[in-house]
Amino acid sequence: MTIVDLIVQEAGRERSRILTAASMAGATSMFVLIGANVVAGAPELLGFLAAGLFALVVAGHYLSAKYVYYRTATVVESALHRIRIRIVDKLEKADIQGIERIGAAEIHDAITENLSVVSHYGPLIAAFLQAALILAFAVLYVAWISLPTFIAISFLLTIGYLTYRERAKELERYLQRLGDARVAFFDLLTDLLKGFKEVKLSQRRGRDICADIERSSGALRGFNLRSGEMNGDNFIFASSNLYALLGVIVIVLPQHIDVDSSALVDIVAAILFLWGPMTVLITGAPAYIRSNVALDRARTLEEKLDKAIQETRIAQDAEDTWRGGFGVIAGRGVEFEYVSDDGDGAFRVGPLDVEIPEGEIVFIVGGNGSGKSTALKVLTGLYPPTGGELRVGGIRVDSSNVAAYREKISAIYSDFHLFAKLYGLLDVDPAAVHRLIEQMGLHQKTSFENEGFTNRNLSTGQRKRLAMIVALLEDRPICVFDEWAADQDPEFRAHFYEELLPTLKQRGKTVIAVTHDDRFFHCADRVITMEYGRIRSVERA
């Protein structure tokens, strides 16, 4: 999709009005040229009437050009708003694996950098359109004066355009590579920011990643410089063509075609008049190309998101399959394999045969890399099994009901996130939130105002307690905790195992917790031990 296609599609019924106004702007520009040539050849026409008509034409040009500019800007911004919302809607519906494969850097780049390029250059398309129409009217004016000259100009302009278009295609390919380099740079920068603590603990690690970032920035610099050089080359080529055109008309053409001297003066005036719109077209062409590349990258992201949605085809508003209770969560030979972009398997979990009865507390234990967190994401419906099946209450979990199953679960994963507001709980009773804040010992650290916590800049353990508040407010039948107690002080660690978990069980909740705290294993109904992606044992505590 080009930016012109975007404007044509989004303008709707206003499309004809914008085109009419642009035509008026182009026509009034030509009236100025024709009027000036006529008056120059017949000074006796000068007077108040001529001045009034001239002022009227200028006013018409001003109003029509202004309308085209502002309406085009409005159409572009409205279209970009819809694209942003459409991308966000697809993000919300997409499969988590698809999002992980795409990566945050590419998503940020498409929504912010690329759409900002279109927003910045979009209104220039109005000037682009007007310049093209002025050029068309001027060429028609030349045809009216001298048909042979019109043919010569049309031929030269066509040759110049075709040559420029080929050069522009090369620039477009280069801008795509520039976009890829920018995403790679953002990836490394995100890596640095997310691993900042680890970087501060190792100067060597810091030097290594900064060296990679420097190389990536150097590549980005090279792409930017080369694209700038190509823009400059294209501009010089196009402007040189204009000079060549003027030389052909003034020097070459009169030697082969009989052109009246007064007509030649009018033709030269028309060509000089063309200089302005041609300059707009030449200087605006890189903006047009950049906008098209930016839109293409946004479209590519949407296609990837569509694929991520189609891979699962989850029914977002599925009817609750497990009203009143769900019985047993059962894995029957459940397997999950991480698959890389080239189709190679990277890590496998399973087959897992496990049963988690409703209302029980189940601990999942094992060493690092044993597959605990991945198994947790499969059991909670975030990752679809690549083998076997997950059944809840005897009903197989699939794309038709997995959304309803997820609605049964409150989870705090190891890489949990605290939102600025309690999204999904915006109608919560503030008094209930304040009570939980006090129970979690955070009343001196944060409060609850304007639908969110006033302070989220806390230690990891304290932020996990805020996440626990959110989970308790959700009040769902299945509670999932991935290493929640790992960052708590001894007091809250004991509170979690000896008070909070038994309370949840008394309320009929099913608790699945990944843990390493073997001295609290007695708090569970059963302990599942994992090793190398498989269940080694299931023991009753």
Please report, for the chain, the start and end positions of each structural domain, with discontinuous segments joined by +. 3-310, 328-540
HSE, side-chain direction, 13 A CA sphere, residue 153: 24
pLDDT by residue (tens digit) across 93-146? 887 777 878 888 888 888 888 888 888 777 777 777 777 777 777 778 778 877
Sequence-separated (6 or more) residues with CB below 8 Å from residue 514: 363, 364, 365, 372, 373, 376, 414, 481, 482, 483
Residues listed for the chain: 541
pLDDT by residue (tens digit) across 365-417? 888 878 888 888 888 888 888 888 999 888 888 887 888 888 888 989 888 88
HSE, side-chain direction, 13 A CA sphere, residue 223: 21
CA gap 116, 294 in Å, rounded: 9
pLDDT by residue (tens digit) across 223-248? 888 877 887 887 787 778 777 777 77
Pairing label, strands 452-453, 448-449: antiparallel
Instruction: Give the 3-state DSSP-derived string for 446-475, with helices as H, strands as E and coil as C.
Output: CCEECCEECCCCCCHHHHHHHHHHHHHHHC
Question: Looking at domain 328-540, which of 3.10.180.10, 3.40.50.720, 3.40.50.300, 2.60.40.1180 is its CATH number?
Answer: 3.40.50.300
Residue 341, pLDDT score: 59
User: Where would I find the H helices in 453-536?
Assistant: 460-474, 490-495, 501-506
pLDDT at position 469 over 60: yes
State the pTM of this model.
0.68
Fold of 3-310: ABC transporter transmembrane region fold (1.20.1560)
CA gap 85, 88 in Å, rounded: 5
CA gap 348, 346 in Å, rounded: 7
User: Where would I find the H helices in 342-444?
Assistant: 372-379, 402-406, 430-439
Question: Are residues 7 and 125 in contact, defined by beta-carbon separation less than 8 angstroms?
Answer: yes
